[in-house]
Amino acid sequence: MDNRFITLSVPPELKNGFFFSSDRIKMEMTERNLTDNFVYELLYYHGMDGWKPWENQEEAFLFLMDEWEVVKNQLEELYRNRDQNNARLAMKKGIGLFIQLLFWSNDLPVLLKEPIPSIPLVYQPVNLSERLAFIMSRPNLFHSFRQLSELIVEQEKLYVKKSILKKASRPNR
């Protein structure tokens, strides 16, 4: 038996048929695992110890953006080859990365209750609910990929703005 893998039930906070097709998920336990979406939330909602990226935003932000570059390059290749069927899986990964970026940059663990976001977030792109609903309803379309890319750019800008405001509000030492 491989001790690096654990199986957990999907907690109510993450129940969303788009991301989880069953009530249980098997995941690899590593120090920093961003290859699987929502790993840290799964641990958190089960009361288990683990990294809390929403509390370590600078590091988490860099990991998310690096992972997005990999997924974005895969998607560009898939769409260039008009391979919409295989693009769906990569889009699911990219959408998950965006949702993590969205919640983590608002100092919160992800909540996947529908519609996403189910709670008001201070830092979020304009018309987020409608745009995200479109992307998730048609993830294999190139237009959905373009919209997801724009959402990530917009959220990245909001995160940077938040970081600058946070640093400016610190008292000088």
pTM of the model: 0.91
Q: Over 60: is that where the pLDDT of 6 sits?
A: yes
User: Which range among 35-39, 85-89, 115-119, 136-140 shows the weakest confidence by mean pLDDT?
Assistant: 115-119
DSSP letters of 62-76? HHHHHHHHHHHHHHH
Q: Over 60: is that where the pLDDT of 173 sits?
A: no
Interval 53-74: pLDDT, tens: 999 888 899 999 999 999 999 9
Q: Over 90: is that where the pLDDT of 172 sits?
A: no
In terms of residue numbers, what domain contains 103?
5-169
- Model pLDDT, residue 144: 97
Burial (0-12, 13-18, 19+ Cβ within 10 Å), 148: buried
Nearest 5°: the CA angle 73, 67, 56 is 155
Q: What are phi and psi of 137, to 5 degrees?
A: -80, -20
Nearest 5°: the CA angle 103, 17, 56 is 20
Query: Are 24 and 44 a contacting pair, CB within 8 Å?
Result: no
Q: Radius of gyration of the chain from Cα atoms?
A: 16
User: Which range among 111-120, 122-131, 149-158, 160-169 shows the weakest confidence by mean pLDDT?
Assistant: 111-120
Query: Are 163 and 104 a contacting pair, CB within 8 Å?
Result: no
Nearest 5°: the CA angle 88, 91, 96 is 130
Q: For the chain, how many structural domains are there in total?
A: 1
Read off the pLDDT of each residue in 82-106 and give the average, rounded to a whole number: 94
Q: Over 50: is that where the pLDDT of 1 sits?
A: no
Cis omega (within 30 of 0) on the bond before 117?
Answer: yes
Read off the pLDDT of each residue in 133-161 and give the average, rounded to a whole number: 96
